[in-house]
Amino acid sequence: MTTFVLVTGAWHGSWCWKRVRDALRRHGHAVFTPTFTGIGERSHLLAREVDLETHIADVTNLIRWEELEDVVLVGHSYGGLVVRSVADRMGDRIAALVYLDAFVPENGQSLHDCLPPEQRQMQVDAAGEVGGWRVPPIPAAVFNVNETDRAWVDAQCTPQPIACFQQKLRLERDGVPAGPIHYIWASGWEGSPFTQFYEKAKARGWSTREIACGHDVMLDAPEALTAALLEIADPVYASR
């Protein structure tokens, strides 16, 4: 049995992992899908003070108190910042690290530092229209979520504090875990800011693969993503 911790992107909660979570569990694996403070079913905790460090603590505390070891840690989109920091702080517990169409910032960078200026300004402007400190979800159509799921995704997503996107990432060991690092790139949507991280992953010698779908890979291509994660987990499972 392998232990997976699947970390969401911005505005999403545990709900987005249902299909992949259920599939991995049918294969006999343990799967945790934490929702960040202030998002989804935890949206009653939304507050100006919630930031990137809050969300990093959400995941590190899960791993600590559930006493998880040999974790396959997966971070989607904004979740890339979170898992990079978790791997930096708890690398001995991470058997494999997977960036799923995710940001991979350098030490001292924020998510906004990784966005094109026009995309960054759109988020700042959107926050300004609702009090200045929280960013409404980007419509699912922008991420080319499949048409069947778009209305559902838009109804499920909730605002996120802009501090999560503006706080700088602080690393002590360059975010390198004990195990291998993988990057999965979603190639089926336009305007993606993640192509740069996919190319950097290849340059760094990480394992890389492409899934031709929209940004929400767990919704658009759950079977392909499950197969990829099972393949990544095979060496972890075999070593136990």
Number of alpha carbons in the 13 Å side-chain half-sphere of residue 73: 35
3 state SS for the chain: CCEEEEECCCCCCHHHHHHHHHHHHHCCCEEECCCCCCCHHHHHHCCCCCCHHHHHHHHHHHHHHCCCCCEEEEEECCHHHHHHHHHHHCHHHEEEEEEECCCCCCCCCCCHHHCCHHHHHHHHHHHHCCCCCEECCCCHHHHCCCCCCHHHHHHHCCCEECHHHHCCCCCCCCCCCCCCEEEEEECCCCCCCCHHHHHHHHHCCCEEEEECCCCCHHHHCHHHHHHHHHHHHHHHHHCC
The answer to whether residues 79 and 50 touch, using CB atoms and an 8 Å cutoff, is no
Active-site residue numbers? 77
CB 183 within 8 A of CB 208: yes
Backbone angles phi, psi at 56, to 5 degrees: -65, -40
